[in-house]
Amino acid sequence: MAYDEKLAGRVRALLKGRRGITEKKMFGGLAILCSGKMCCGVLREDLVARVGADGYEKALARPHVRPMDFTGRPMKGYVYVAPAAIRDKRALKRWVDACLAHADTL
């Protein structure tokens, strides 16, 4: 599996200058870690958003969002966000900020 380099670049631009951000190739895609904890990522053309158990149902209620079902079992606390939901910078930033907020609680 590959990941959308353009989306990865957009996420990187939003995280530029933030301390503790690293990248790791995982799941056949790109994982973005915040202080060593998975924050978000890119798999194929989707944003992988770690929203946590508390934000999971709320995230799933949003358009163009589905459970992260990488292994045949949904991973609670993680969702896939389709390109239609993150077309502009502001929309992508809202998702990335939500992921960072959750990562800061870990």
DSSP track, 58-105: HHHTSTTEEE--SSSS--TTEEEE-GGGSSSHHHHHHHHHHHHHHHTT
From first to last of its 106 residues, what are the pLDDT tens digits of the chain? Answer: 589 999 999 999 999 999 999 999 987 899 999 999 999 999 999 999 999 999 999 999 999 999 998 778 888 899 999 999 999 999 999 999 999 999 988 8
Domains of the chain: 5-103 (3.90.1150)
pTM surpassing 0.75? yes
